[in-house]
Amino acid sequence: MRIAFYAPMKPADHPVPSGDREIARLLIQALGTAGHSVEIASRFSSRDGSGDPVRQARLRDLGCRTAERLIRRYRARPAYERPDAWITYHVYHKSPDWLGPAIADAFAIPYLIVEASSAPKRAGGPWDIGYSGANAAIRRADAVLTLNSDDAACLKPVMSDSAWHRHLPPFVDTSRFAALAEFRTTIRAGFAQRCHWNPDIPWLLAVGMMRGGDKQASYEVLAKAIFELADEPWHLLVVGDGPQRAGIVHQLTAAAPGRVAFLGELSNEDLALVYTASDMLVWPAINEAFGMALLEAQAAGRPVVAGNQRGVPDIVSPGVTGLLPPAGDAGAFAEAVRRLLQDDEMRHAFSTAAARHAREKFDLAGAAHEIGRAIDLACLHAGNRAIPGAA
C-alpha cells in the first residue's frame, strides 16, 4: 500500500536527534519491511510546548490550511499515486493532528495513529485547544497502536468503540547491535585508549538529551547516585548534548572527578559502538514514556538500571534484564547499580538475557508484522464506516 506518514511533533528527518525522531524513522523502516511504500506527507509541526492558546489557535488554522493544500495536491495526482492509508505518529495535547482526519475523510482511506495519549487534566487549561484537537483525531482513528501501556486507560473513553486498539511494544533493529558483539574487545580497547581508562573495571553508560525538565532531573539523580558509589571501581560514559550541558557536566564531574567521559551527541552508528563497549546502562528515567536508550542497550546485550516508572517496566524485565529501583530515589538507584557492580555473575546473566529479550520481543520484524495487521484491520474499519449502519 501507499502510506502517507506524518509526525506532528517532530519530522522523521529533523536534524536534532531524539528518541521521538528515532521511533518515527523506525516506523518508516518497519512499514517498508512490511512491504508498504511510505511518503512523508508533511513536515508541518503542530507542537506547542508552552501552553499558549494563541499559538495553538494559529497552529490549528495553519494545520487546516495545510490539510486543504494536501487534499488539492493529492487530487491532482492519478488515483494510483494517492495514499491508500494515512499514519500519524505521536498525537497528544502538545502535538495534535490537524491534517490526517481531514485527508482520510476526503479520500475515504484508513486513518491510523501510532502512539497517542489523552490527558483529561488538560481540558479547559492552557492546552485545551491542543487537547481537543488530539482527542478529535483519536476519536476519528480507525486503529490506534500505543507504545506505552500506561496510556491505555485514558484512551479508551476517547476512542471509537469499533476502532482497533493494541499495544505495540517499542522496537529496534536488533541485528545491527548483534553484529557488533564479536568485536566488543576491540571496540572497548579503542575507547579505553581514547579515555585513558582501565578496560578491566566496569563501565557505566548514561544516554540522554541535556535539556531541562525530566532529563535534567534524571541527570541530578544520576549525579547523587554516582557520588554514593565512590568506593566502587567504575567509569561512566555520558552520551548527549543540549542547552543544559554545562550545568550537567559540572554536576557529574563534581560528583565523580576523573571518572566521567562526555562524548556529546553521537550518530546511531557511533552510539551502537558505545553500547557495545560499556557494561551496563544506568539511567534514572524520570517520567520517561519508556526510553529508547533502555531498549537499545538491551539489544546490545547490556543490563539496565532504570527508575521503575511509566513504560519502563514494559521493556526492562526486573531481575532478568535489569534492576528497577523506585523512580527518583537516588539512594535506591545507587544500591541497584552497586549490586550489578559487585556481582559479575548476575551482570553477565543479565547481559545474555537482555540481548535475547530484545530479539524475541522488541525486534523490528515483529513490529512490521503487527503494524501490517493494524493496517489491514483499519482498512476493514474504514470500509465499515462508509457503509450506512455498519459498525
Quick one: 213 and 343 in the same domain? yes
The distance between the two most distant Cα atoms of the chain, rounded to a whole number of Å, is 71
Q: For residue 33, give the nearest of 177, 181, 179, 171 by alpha carbon.
A: 171
Query: How far is it, in rounded angstroms, from Cα 213 to Cα 53?
Result: 21
- 391 domain residue, yes or no: no
pLDDT digit string (tens) for the chain, length 391 residues: 999 999 999 888 887 767 788 889 999 999 998 899 999 999 999 999 999 999 999 999 999 999 999 999 999 999 999 999 999 999 999 999 999 999 999 999 999 999 998 989 999 999 999 999 999 999 999 999 988 777 778 888 888 888 888 888 888 999 999 999 999 999 999 989 888 888 999 999 999 999 989 999 999 999 999 999 999 999 999 999 999 999 999 999 999 999 999 999 998 899 999 999 999 999 999 988 778 899 999 999 999 999 998 889 988 999 999 999 999 999 999 999 999 999 999 999 999 999 999 999 999 988 898 888 888 888 877 766 543 333 3
Quick one: 266 and 305 in the same domain? yes
Asked if residues 137 and 96 have their Cβ atoms less than 8 Å apart, the reply is: yes
Quick one: 103 and 119 in the same domain? yes
Cα dihedral 333, 338, 341, 343 sign: negative
pLDDT of residue 141: 94
Q: Which amino acid does the sequence have at 18?
A: S
Asked if residues 285 and 307 have their Cβ atoms less than 8 Å apart, the reply is: yes
CA angle 363, 5, 391 (to 5 degrees): 90
- 49 domain residue, yes or no: yes
Asked if residues 60 and 97 have their Cβ atoms less than 8 Å apart, the reply is: no
- 218 domain residue, yes or no: yes
- 233 domain residue, yes or no: yes
Quick one: 167 and 262 in the same domain? no
Q: Which amino acid does the sequence have at 198?
A: N
Containing domain of residue 119, as a range? 2-171+364-385
How far, in whole angstroms, is CA 355 from its chain's centroid?
19
pLDDT of residue 384: 60
* Distance between first and last Cα of the chain: 24
- 390 domain residue, yes or no: no
Quick one: 74 and 158 in the same domain? yes
Quick one: 266 and 343 in the same domain? yes
Task: Give me the number of domains the chain comprises.
Answer: 2
Q: How many CB atoms lie within 10 A of CB 22?
A: 18
Domain CATH number, residue 368:
3.40.50.2000
Phi, psi dihedrals of residue 143, rounded to the nearest 5°: -155, 145
Cell of 144: 490506534
Quick one: 116 and 243 in the same domain? no
- 278 domain residue, yes or no: yes
What b/e readout covers 73-87, taking b as 16+ CB neighbours within 10 angstroms? ebeeeeeeebbbbbb
Q: How many CB atoms lie within 10 A of CB 119?
A: 16
Quick one: 191 and 299 in the same domain? yes
Quick one: 294 and 352 in the same domain? yes
Quick one: 182 and 123 in the same domain? no
> pTM for the whole thing?
0.82
Quick one: 199 and 305 in the same domain? yes
Cell of 328: 527518583
Asked if residues 204 and 236 have their Cβ atoms less than 8 Å apart, the reply is: yes
Which residues, other chains included, contact 17 with Cβ-Cβ below 8 Å and sequence gap of 6+?
209, 265
What b/e readout covers 324-336, taking b as 16+ CB neighbours within 10 angstroms? bbebbbbebbbbb
Quick one: 146 and 251 in the same domain? no
